[in-house]
C-alpha cells in the first residue's frame, strides 16, 4: 500500500503547478541569508520559520524549483509509513486515513509547512505513551511542530503543558532527561515565538472578517465533512455549509466518547478551542482545517487502547471510515484534476516574460496582482519595473504596510500602471472577478489589449474554488484594441 501511495503522491506532485503561497516561501528562502530569513523576513509571513529553513537548506544543496514537489512528498510518504505500520487502528482504517484528503492530496501535494505535520503528528502520537520514559525525543517532536505554523505552535504549546504536568505528577523532574526535554521544548518554543512575532507594519491580514460563528463552523466542516455529496455541489452553498457541519458533528460523536473515556477530553477541548479561536481572532483559510483533522487522528491514536463497548467500537470504526472514505473520493478527484489541468500558470507566465525579455531587452514589464509572483521562482531576478523600481531583488512579495506596490490591487493601482506606459503587463485579476469587465474596458481605453490568457484554477476537495488565471496585455492601436478585450475567460 505504501508503494501505491508513494507513486500517486510523486506523480501528482510532479504534475502540480505551484501557486503563489508555495512560490513565496521558496523565494524567501532563495533570496535571503539565513539571518535575514529567520530574524527579519519570516515574521511578515505569519508563521515560524522551520519550513523556510528546510527550503533554505535544500536550495543551497542544489535542489531546483522543478523538483520542489519531492519535499512535501517525502514528508507525506514518511508519515504514511508510520500510519500504515505503527498506528493502532485496523489495517483497512489505516489505509483509508492515508487516502484521506489531507494525506492524499492537500498537504502531500501543495508544498507548504503543513506537509511536515504529516510526519510530526504521527511521530508525536507514536511516542506519546512513552513520553515519560523517553522525554527528549517527544520534546524534540513537539518543539519542531511549534516551529512549522501558527496553528501547530498553539497545539504544541498545549502538548508541552500536558507533558510538563505529566512529568510533575510522575515525580520525573529531578531526572536529567526530563530537564533536558523541558529545556529543548522551551528553547524551540521560544525560537518559534521569536521568528513568528508579528511586526507592527505587517500589512498582510485582511481588514474585513467573517462573523465568528461562521468561521468556527467553516473550520470544523473543512476538517471533516465539507458538504453533501462529497463530489459536486448538490445544492446551494449555504445548504452545503449546514449539512457539512452537521455531518461532521454527527460522525465525531463516537470519537468524542473514546477520547473522553481515555482521559484526553480536556486536551481535545483545549486543542479545538485554540485552533478555532485563533482562526476567529486572526486569519482562517479552508486548508487550516486539515490541522484539526491531523490532531483528531493524534487523539484517536493515543486513545485507541481504551476499552469501550463493542457496539461503540463498531460505531467508532464506521464513522472514521465514512469521514476518510468521503475525503478519499475528494483526494482522487482533485489529484486527477490537477494532473489534467493547470493549477497555477506561473511557469507559463515566466516563459512569456523570458521570451519577451530576449527580444525586447529594454522593454518595461509591469505586474498587477500578487498571484503573478508565482512566475518569479522560474526567473533569476525580478523582471517587473513597477516593483522596487525593477531591482533584481527582492523577487518575493513584501507584506510591509509601507510597500508601495499593492498586492491585492485596485482600480487606482490599475490606472497607475497605464500612466507609466509599460510595454507588457502581467496581470492576475482573480480577486476582482466582479469588476473584470470594468478593468478590461479601462485597459482598452488606455490602448492595451489581451495578447494571451494563461488559465489556472485552484481546486479544494473536488470543487473549483478560486481562479488563478494570468493575463498578458500589450499595447494595441486602432479598433483592434476593443476586440482584443472582449474575451471569454476560462
The pLDDT, as a whole number, for residue 424 is: 96
| Complete DSSP assignment for 31-64 | TS-HHIIIIIIGGGGTS-SHHHHHHHHHHHTT--
Distance CA 164, CA 245 (A): 34
Q: ∠ CA(194), CA(197), CA(203), 5° rounding? A: 150
CA proximity to 95, closest of 112, 78, 83: 83
| 80 contact partners, CB below 8 Å, separation of at least 6 | 2, 5, 6, 98, 103, 118
368 pairs with which residues across the strands? 427
**Omega into 229 within 30° of 0, i.e. cis?**
yes
The pLDDT, as a whole number, for residue 445 is: 85
> From start to end of 112-240, where are the E strands?
none
Q: Calculate the alpha carbon distances from 484 to 101, 217, 467 in Å.
A: 41, 44, 21
Distance CA 298, CA 285 (A): 22
The number of CA neighbours under 13 Å toward the Cβ of 343 is: 26
Distance CA 45, CA 37 (A): 11
The two beta strands, 470-475 and 457-460, are: unpaired
pTM of the model: 0.93
The pLDDT, as a whole number, for residue 489 is: 46
Greatest alpha-carbon pair distance for the chain in Å reads 84
CA dihedral 398, 400, 405, 411 (to 10 degrees): 120
Distance CA 238, CA 235 (A): 8
The pLDDT, as a whole number, for residue 483 is: 45
Contact 123, 236 (CB under 8 A): no
Residue 313 gets which letter from DSSP? Answer: H
Per-residue pLDDT tens listing for the chain (490 residues): 999 999 999 999 999 999 999 999 999 999 999 999 999 999 999 899 999 999 999 999 999 999 999 999 999 999 999 999 999 999 999 999 999 999 999 999 999 999 999 999 999 999 999 999 999 999 999 999 999 999 999 999 999 999 999 988 887 667 888 899 999 999 999 999 999 998 888 877 665 567 889 899 999 999 999 877 776 655 567 788 888 889 999 999 999 999 999 999 999 999 999 999 999 888 878 899 999 999 999 999 999 999 999 999 999 999 999 999 999 999 999 999 999 999 999 999 999 999 999 999 999 999 999 999 999 999 999 999 999 999 999 999 999 988 889 888 777 888 899 999 999 999 987 655 556 777 778 888 888 999 999 999 999 998 888 889 999 999 886 544 444 455 444 4
Distance CA 487, CA 490 (A): 9
The number of CA neighbours under 13 Å toward the Cβ of 199 is: 17
The grid cell for 457 is 484554477
Q: Three-state DSSP class for 360?
A: coil
365's enclosing H/E stretch is: strand 365-368
Distance CA 158, CA 451 (A): 54
Q: Calculate the alpha carbon distances from 370 to 397, 399, 460 in Å.
A: 8, 11, 20
Each domain of the chain, given as residue ranges in start order, spans 2-340, 346-485
Residue 89, Cα to own-chain centre: how many angstroms? 27
Distance CA 378, CA 17 (A): 12
The pLDDT, as a whole number, for residue 444 is: 86
Q: Three-state DSSP class for 463?
A: strand
The pLDDT, as a whole number, for residue 434 is: 54
Distance CA 252, CA 94 (A): 17
The number of CA neighbours under 13 Å toward the Cβ of 58 is: 20
Distance CA 466, CA 365 (A): 26
Contact 43, 191 (CB under 8 A): no
Amino acid at each position: 500500500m505504501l508503494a501505491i501511495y508513494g507513486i500517486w503522491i510523486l506523480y501528482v506532485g510532479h504534475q502540480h503547478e505551484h501557486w503563489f503561497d508555495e512560490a513565496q516561501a521558496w523565494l524567501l528562502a532563495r533570496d535571503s541569508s539565513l539571518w535575514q530569513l529567520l530574524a527579519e523576513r519570516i515574521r511578515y509571513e505569519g508563521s515560524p520559520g522551520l519550513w523556510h529553513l528546510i527550503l533554505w537548506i535544500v536550495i543551497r544543496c542544489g535542489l531546483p524549483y522543478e523538483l520542489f514537489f519531492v519535499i512535501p512528498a517525502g514528508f507525506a510518504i514518511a508519515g504514511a509509513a508510520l500510519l500504515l505500520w505503527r498506528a493502532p487502528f485496523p489495517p483497512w482504517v489505516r489505509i483509508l486515513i492515508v487516502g484521506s484528503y489531507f494525506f492524499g492530496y492537500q498537504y502531500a501535494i501543495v508544498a507548504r509547512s503543513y506537509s511536515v505535520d504529516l510526519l510530526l503528528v504521527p511521530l508525536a502520537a507514536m511516542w506519546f505513551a512513552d513520553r515519560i520514559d523517553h522525554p527528549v525525543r517527544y520534546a524534540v517532536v513537539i518543539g519542531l511542530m511549534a516551529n512549522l505554523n501558527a496553528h501547530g505552535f498553539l497545539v504544541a504549546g498545549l502538548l508541552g503543558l500536558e507533558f510538563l504536568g505529566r512529568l510533575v505528577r510522575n515525580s520525573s523532574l529531578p531526572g536529567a532527561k526530563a530537564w533536558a526535554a523541558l529545556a529543548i521544548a522551551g528553547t524551540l518554543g521560544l525560537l518559534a515565538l521569536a521568528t513568528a512575532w508579528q511586526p507592527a507594519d505587517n500589512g498582510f491580514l485582511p481588514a474585513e472578517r467573517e462573523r465568528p460563528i461562521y468561521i468556527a463552523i467553516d473550520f470544523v466542516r473543512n476538517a471533516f465533512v465539507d458538504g453533501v455529496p462529497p463530489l459536486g455541489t448538490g445544492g446551494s452553498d449555504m445548504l452545503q455549509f449546514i449539512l457539512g457541519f452537521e455531518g461532521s458533528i454527527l460522525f465525531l460523536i463516537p470519537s468524542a466518547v473514546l477520547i473522553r473515556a481515555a482521559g484526553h477530553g480536556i486536551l481535545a477541548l483545549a486543542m479545538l478551542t485554540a485552533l478555532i479561536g485563533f482562526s476567529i481572532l486572526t486569519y482562517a483559510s479552508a486548508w487550516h482545517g486539515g490541522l484539526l483533522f491531523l490532531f483528531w487522528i493524534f487523539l484517536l491514536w493515543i486513545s485507541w487502547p481504551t476499552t469501550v463497548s463493542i457496539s461503540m467500537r463498531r460505531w467508532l470504526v464506521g464513522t472514521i471510515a465514512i469521514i476518510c472514505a468521503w475525503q478519499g473520493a475528494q483526494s482522487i478527484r482533485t489529484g486527477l484534476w490537477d494532473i489534467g489541468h493547470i493549477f497555477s500558470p506561473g511557469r507559463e507566465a515566466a516563459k512569456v516574460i523570458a521570451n519577451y525579455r530576449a527580444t525586447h531587452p529594454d522593454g518595461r514589464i509591469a505586474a498587477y496582482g500578487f498571484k503573478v509572483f508565482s512566475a518569479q521562482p522560474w526567473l533569476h531576478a525580478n523582471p517587473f519595473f513597477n516593483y522596487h523600481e525593477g531591482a533584481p531583488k527582492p523577487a518575493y512579495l513584501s507584506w510591509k504596510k509601507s510597500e508601495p506596490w499593492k498586492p491585492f490591487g485596485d482600480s487606482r493601482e490599475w490606472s497607475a500602471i497605464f500612466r507609466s506606459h509599460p510595454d507588457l503587463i502581467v496581470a492576475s485579476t482573480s480577486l476582482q472577478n466582479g469588476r473584470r469587465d470594468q478593468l478590461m474596458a479601462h485597459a482598452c481605453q488606455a490602448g492595451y489589449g489581451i495578447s494571451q490568457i494563461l488559465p489556472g484554477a485552484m481546486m479544494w476537495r473536488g470543487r473549483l474554488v478560486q481562479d488563478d488565471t494570468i493575463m498578458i496585455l500589450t499595447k494595441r492601436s486602432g479598433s483592434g484594441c476593443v476586440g482584443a478585450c472582449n474575451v471569454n475567460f476560462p
